[in-house]
């Protein structure tokens, strides 16, 4: 009974507007006191969870992504996507998704993608004649590819909580991320083709120029994937190499990064890393207390009492996460649900990488659905479009995203094949 | 008062950024020396982890000054009048209790680990817990400053009171 009470207390605190990290910490401490366990366990667990080499990847990839954005990578990536897809009728929607796929290999977050790509393409799509709501919806939906294709802050945190290899998670995300990109591109083209003409003609010269300008950013996913796949370095080491590379590109090659902007990047990265690490630290104690109170086992019992068929249980998990993702921000939702669901995945015999991808992709759908569609709100804010219009236009994209999640959920090889090649 | 607040948070920012740069440089140097040099730096991994623990808690404390810690504010945003004030008071009470708990537990952990040191660099574990305890104090002080004077943000490479020129949510 302690477990459900703990979860209830935590949820009440979160709904009352208490910061998520504080709510997890205070609930864990209260539980330790109630269960008569020394409170020193709280700090020991929290410090031990941060004292992990793999989590160093968080600040490394945050700095790298922010350095490249400050160094002007986003406009080069958009120009590259435009040269490839801008010649089609309704091509700017496809350009938007294509830019997000390329940007996903540079940045580890969805909101960064929305801001960088949406800031340029939403106004451009509006000017070209696309419905403003459509421009916002396609930007928000395609930004969810960011945390699926490596690097991904979401995957680093997932790995930090569960102990699943972050390098393998990175590899597992590539095919599902590209698959989602293709399905969203098709939907964007299908809807957009009736709205606006092509913005440019197909020209090998344009493609060559844009590729030459954007190629330095595109090397990053190659460094990460190649390095991990061929065993040259770990995901964390890939982070520091990408960081050094990003600094050289932004500062010495693009020459768009000023010293002031570099200082700003470092401060912002430190703050964001602090925010994420406090959550990871508190989640470790919270998850430990939940495990002590047998909560994950109770959850396994409840779900397996409904069905012992792994496919049905997987679909139930997807439905549960869709619901949670609609009301809770993605990182928070993952931190709340994963300590409970991960043991379920183990009990049902799911491949940990496959299960991780299903969890993350499902929760990300919540970023484009009301009432808490964070990316939809960010994109609507950028495009100065009423959120209601964007919500209506986002429905086909949400359907595509759910279908993609179901494909990944039902065909594990989509996520597990690439990591199986790891040396 | 605003000036003191800015000086205080800028000192913290300088410390955490220096720690972050140290972690980056040592990890990078380790990879370079392992790949092209005489071999790995034996203490690099432990140095990076220990520094990262202290960095994480100090940066989390600094984030209180930026008002950046994640919150689900859907219900709170809809509350008005007395209910809104009650919720704000409740949030402050829980946050304050959390900070004091970190200080309290951290204090005892610091003294419980006075004899412990890390294996490679012989770094006192008590110092690590001491920094965690101190970060609890900073969380409390930064939160008080942020709620009375206002949260800080980065403008044109400098920390100032007010709205940021790049929203942290955009890079989260």
Q: Which of residues 43-82 of B touch A (CB under 8 A)?
A: 45, 48-50, 52-53, 55-63, 66, 68-76
Q: How many angstroms away from the CA of A51 is the closest CA of chain B?
A: 5
Which residues make Cβ contacts (< 8 Å) with residue B48, sequence separation at least 6? A53, A56, B23, B26, B27
| Domain assignments of chain A as residue spans, ordered by start | 2-421
On chain B, the residues whose CB falls within 8 A of the CB of A20 are 69-72
Q: Which residue has the tokens 């569609």?
A: A373
Residue B167 pLDDT more than 50? Answer: yes
On chain A, the residues whose CB falls within 8 A of the CB of B48 are 53, 56
Q: pLDDT tens digits, residue range B18-69? A: 999 999 999 999 999 988 888 889 999 999 999 999 999 999 999 999 998 8
Q: How many other CB atoms sit within 10 Å of the CB of residue B162? A: 10
**CB contact, 8 Å: B146 with chain A?**
no
Look at B31 and A267 and tell me if their CB atoms are within 8 Å.
no
**CB contact, 8 Å: B141 with chain A?**
no
Quick check: A156 and A166 in contact, CB under 8 A?
A: yes
Q: How many other CB atoms sit within 10 Å of the CB of residue A231? A: 10
CA distance B109 to A330: 33
Range in A115-119, A369-373, B120-124, B165-169 with the lowest mean pLDDT:
B165-169
Candidates A140, A270, A367, partner chain B, best to mutate (most B CBs within 10 A): A270
* The pLDDT value given to residue B171: 47
Tell me the three state secondary structure of residue A109: coil
Candidates A14, A43, A46, A289, partner chain B, best to mutate (most B CBs within 10 A): A43
Quick check: A198 and A91 in contact, CB under 8 A?
A: yes
On chain A, the residues whose CB falls within 8 A of the CB of B60 are 21, 274-275, 277-278, 281
Q: pLDDT tens digits, residue range B121-162? A: 899 999 999 999 999 999 999 999 999 999 999 887 788 887
Look at A62 and B171 and tell me if their CB atoms are within 8 Å.
yes
On chain A, the residues whose CB falls within 8 A of the CB of B28 are 240-241, 243-244
C-alpha closest to that of A143 among A196, A107, A189: A107
Look at A264 and B166 and tell me if their CB atoms are within 8 Å.
yes
Beta bridge partners of residue B158, listed in sequence order? B155
- The interface predicted TM-score (ipTM) is 0.93
Query: Where residue B165 falls among pLDDT bands split at 50, 70, 90?
Result: low
Look at A63 and B24 and tell me if their CB atoms are within 8 Å.
yes
Query: Where residue B163 falls among pLDDT bands split at 50, 70, 90?
Result: low
CA distance A281 to A161: 9
Look at B53 and A327 and tell me if their CB atoms are within 8 Å.
no
CA distance B151 to A211: 42
* The pLDDT value given to residue A409: 95
Selecting from A19, A115, A244 the residue whose C-beta is nearest the C-beta of B69 gives A19
3-state secondary structure A230-278: CCCCCHHHHHHHHHHHHHHHHHHHCCCCCHHHHHHHHHHHHHHHHHHHH
More confident residue, A256 or A126: A126
Query: Where residue A417 falls among pLDDT bands split at 50, 70, 90?
Result: very high
Mean pLDDT of the B164-170 span: 53
On chain B, the residues whose CB falls within 8 A of the CB of A119 are none
Look at A20 and B71 and tell me if their CB atoms are within 8 Å.
yes
* The pLDDT value given to residue A120: 83
Residue A108 pLDDT more than 70? Answer: yes
Tell me the three state secondary structure of residue B57: helix
Look at A273 and B56 and tell me if their CB atoms are within 8 Å.
yes
Q: Which residue has the tokens 């997890």?
A: A24
More confident residue, A117 or B144: B144
CA distance B9 to B151: 10
Query: Where residue A123 falls among pLDDT bands split at 50, 70, 90?
Result: confident
Q: pLDDT tens digits, residue range A313-359? A: 999 999 989 988 887 778 878 887 888 888 888 888 899 999 999 99
* The pLDDT value given to residue B109: 94
Range in A37-46, A77-86, A348-357 with the lowest mean pLDDT:
A77-86
Selecting from B23, B95, B132 the residue whose C-beta is nearest the C-beta of A47 gives B132
Which range has highest mean pLDDT (A286-295, A332-341, B105-114)?
B105-114
C-alpha closest to that of A193 among A131, A238, A104, A280: A131
**CB contact, 8 Å: B94 with chain A?**
yes
Look at B75 and A17 and tell me if their CB atoms are within 8 Å.
yes
CA distance A4 to A244: 46
With 0.95 as the threshold, say if the pTM is over it. no
Mean pLDDT of the A277-301 span: 85
More confident residue, A33 or A219: A33
Q: Which residue has the tokens 């954005």?
A: A69
Query: Where residue A373 falls among pLDDT bands split at 50, 70, 90?
Result: confident
Selecting from B27, B59, B154 the residue whose C-beta is nearest the C-beta of A56 gives B27
Q: Residue B18's closest chain A neighbor by CA? A: A266
Query: Where residue B81 falls among pLDDT bands split at 50, 70, 90?
Result: confident
Average pLDDT, chain A: 88
Mean pLDDT of the A51-75 span: 85
Residue B168 pLDDT more than 60? Answer: no
CA distance A215 to A253: 12
On chain A, the residues whose CB falls within 8 A of the CB of B105 are 29, 39-40, 42-43
């Amino acid at each position: 009974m302690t477990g459900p009470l703990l979860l209830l207390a935590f949820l009440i605190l979160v709904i009352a507007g208490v910061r998520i990290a504080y709510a997890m910490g205070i609930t864990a401490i209260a539980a330790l006191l109630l269960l008569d366990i020394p409170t020193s366990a709280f700090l020991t667990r929290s410090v031990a969870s941060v004292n992990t080499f793999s989590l160093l990847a968080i600040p490394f990839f945050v700095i790298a992504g922010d350095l490249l954005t400050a160094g002007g990578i986003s406009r080069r990536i958009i120009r590259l996507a435009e040269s490839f897809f801008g010649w089609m009728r309704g091509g700017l929607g496809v350009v938007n998704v294509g830019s997000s796929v390329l940007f996903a290999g540079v940045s580890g977050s969805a909101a960064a993608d929305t801001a960088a790509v949406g800031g340029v393409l939403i106004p451009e799509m509006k000017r070209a004649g696309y419905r403003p709501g459509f421009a916002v919806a396609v930007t928000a939906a395609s930004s969810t590819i960011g945390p699926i294709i490596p690097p991904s802050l979401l995957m680093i945190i997932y790995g930090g909580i569960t102990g699943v290899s972050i390098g393998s998670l990175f590899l597992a995300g590539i095919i599902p991320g590209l698959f989602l990109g293709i399905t969203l591109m098709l939907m964007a083209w299908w809807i957009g083709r009736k709205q606006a003409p092509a913005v440019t003609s197909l020209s090998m010269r344009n493609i060559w120029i844009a590729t030459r300008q954007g190629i330095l950013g595109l090397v990053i996913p190659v460094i990460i994937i190649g390095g991990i796949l061929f065993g040259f370095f770990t995901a964390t080491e890939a982070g520091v190499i990408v960081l050094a590379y990003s600094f050289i590109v932004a500062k010495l090659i693009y020459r768009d990064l000023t010293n002031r902007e570099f200082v700003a990047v470092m401060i912002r990265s430190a703050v964001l890393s602090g925010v994420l690490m406090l959550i990871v630290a508190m989640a470790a104690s919270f998850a430990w207390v939940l495990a002590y109170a047998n909560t994950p086992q109770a959850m396994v019992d409840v779900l397996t009492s409904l069905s012992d068929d792994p496919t049905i249980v997987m679909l139930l998990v997807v439905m549960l996460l869709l619901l949670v993702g609609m009301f809770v921000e993605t990182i928070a939702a993952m931190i709340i649900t994963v300590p409970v669901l991960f043991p379920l995945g183990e009990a049902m015999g799911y491949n940990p990488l496959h299960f991780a991808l299903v969890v993350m992709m499902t929760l990300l759908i919540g970023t484009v659905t009301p009432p808490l569609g964070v990316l939809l709100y960010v994109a609507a804010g950028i495009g100065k479009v009423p959120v209601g219009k964007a919500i209506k236009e986002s429905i086909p994209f949400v359907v595509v995203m759910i279908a993609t999640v179901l494909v990944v959920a039902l065909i594990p090889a989509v996520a597990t094949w690439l990591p199986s090649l790891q040396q | 008062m605003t000036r003191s607040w800015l000086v205080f948070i800028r000192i913290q920012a300088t410390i955490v950024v220096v720690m972050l740069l140290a972690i980056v440089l040592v990890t990078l140097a380790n990879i370079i020396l392992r790949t092209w040099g005489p071999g790995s730096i034996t203490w690099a991994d432990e140095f990076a982890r220990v520094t990262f623990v202290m960095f994480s808690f100090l940066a989390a404390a600094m984030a209180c000054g930026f008002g950046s810690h994640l919150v689900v504010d859907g219900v709170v945003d809809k509350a008005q009048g007395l209910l809104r004030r009650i919720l704000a008071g409740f949030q402050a009470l829980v946050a304050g209790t959390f900070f004091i708990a970190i200080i309290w537990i951290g204090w005892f952990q610091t003294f419980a680990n006075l004899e412990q040191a890390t294996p490679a660099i012989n770094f006192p574990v008590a110092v690590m817990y001491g920094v965690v305890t101190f970060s609890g104090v900073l969380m409390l002080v930064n939160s008080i400053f942020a709620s009375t004077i206002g949260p800080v943000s980065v403008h044109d490479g400098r920390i100032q009171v007010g709205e940021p020129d790049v929203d942290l949510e955009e890079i989260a």
